[in-house]
Amino acid sequence: MVEPVTTATSLGLGSAGLYIFGRYWKRRSTRLRALALAQKYSTTTRIGAHEGRMRLLVNLPQVGEVPTNEQSAWREREERRNRNIMELDLIHHHSEGGAPNVDEQEPNDEERLMELEARSTWIESNEPPMNQHAALVAEEQLGSGVVVAENSDEELEVNIDERLEREGGASGVVQISLAWDDFNDLDLHVFCPSGERIYFNNKKSECGGDLDVDMNVRPVSNTPVENVVWKEQAPLGPYKIGVHFYKHHKKRRTKRTCSYRLRVVTHGRSKEYIGKIKYGEAMQMVTSFSLEEAP
């Protein structure tokens, strides 16, 4: 005779197993469909590369470039990412409420050190959930719907090169630069072909990428820039570019919605994007591209 408790336990474990498998299968199906969609709507360009070898630059599509039903599916995934960042408690709650700090003076060395220590403490306690959130964002195959900028766009009056020169940022065969116009702290996250992620806590990757400019941990500038670069050699494979609104600094004219510009340079070919991100939202998968050997 089978004990009732044993039977109930077995049924419970079986149901839990089916539920977990169902979730896994649904997510796997979603990833495969998104990948097929990205391949269908991607654009390919032949570019000159290092040492005279030709390469293919494959740009994956933005969400606005795919059919309406797929845009709806993307919005559902984006809502899940926004819930995820809240569930993982990755928001700086200490910056909520209170009167804005309108002191525009540049912080002193002691204040900078305090902010760096605060960021180190945040990393120690939040790095595992941040990695979990980044992994969820990295599953996305579509860009977040940013505007591909034209040279005539008035919002591109800011010269990213001037900011990089000011901060000592390098240029290279692949260069990804993020600029914005207030004291907030946005962070650039680059998912490399090697599987590594370059960001403020992993500034150098084994595949040669380097985050050589990381600004506004302390609100020192209202014309900041960040820069990730492969100077001489860039690996083949997919690159994904995320933007995270790390911290809202309470300074005059610094709001909780931040406009940004992202420039991607691949072997001399430049493309710029204009986007917005709200404090408390998920990390945005802004755009992605792949470098491949030309046949």
Q: Which residues of 249-263 are buried (b: 16+ CB within 10 A; e: fewer)?
A: bbbeebeeebebbbb
- pLDDT attached to residue 152: 47
- pLDDT attached to residue 48: 76
Write the pLDDT tens digit of every residue in 30-76.
666 666 767 788 888 888 766 667 888 999 999 999 999 999 999 99
Q: Which residues of 41-70 are buried (b: 16+ CB within 10 A; e: fewer)?
A: bbeeeeeebeeeeebbbbbbbbbebbeeeb
The DSSP string of 182-198 is SS-EEEEEEE-TTS-EE
Tokens at 142, concatenated: 């579509």
Instruction: Determine the 3-state secondary structure of 61 from DSSP.
Output: coil
Tokens at 183, concatenated: 């004291």
DSSP H or E stretch at residue 227: strand 225-230
- pLDDT attached to residue 5: 52
Alpha helices in the chain (DSSP H): 4-41, 68-87, 109-138, 160-167
Q: List Cβ<8 Å contacts ≥24 apart for 105-108.
A: 106/220, 107/218, 107/219, 107/220
- pLDDT attached to residue 95: 41
| Mean pLDDT of the chain, nearest integer | 83
- pLDDT attached to residue 219: 87
pTM metric for this prediction: 0.83
d(CA 60, CA 38): 6
| Angle, vertex CA 177, rays to CA 149 and CA 157, nearest 5 | 45
- pLDDT attached to residue 239: 96
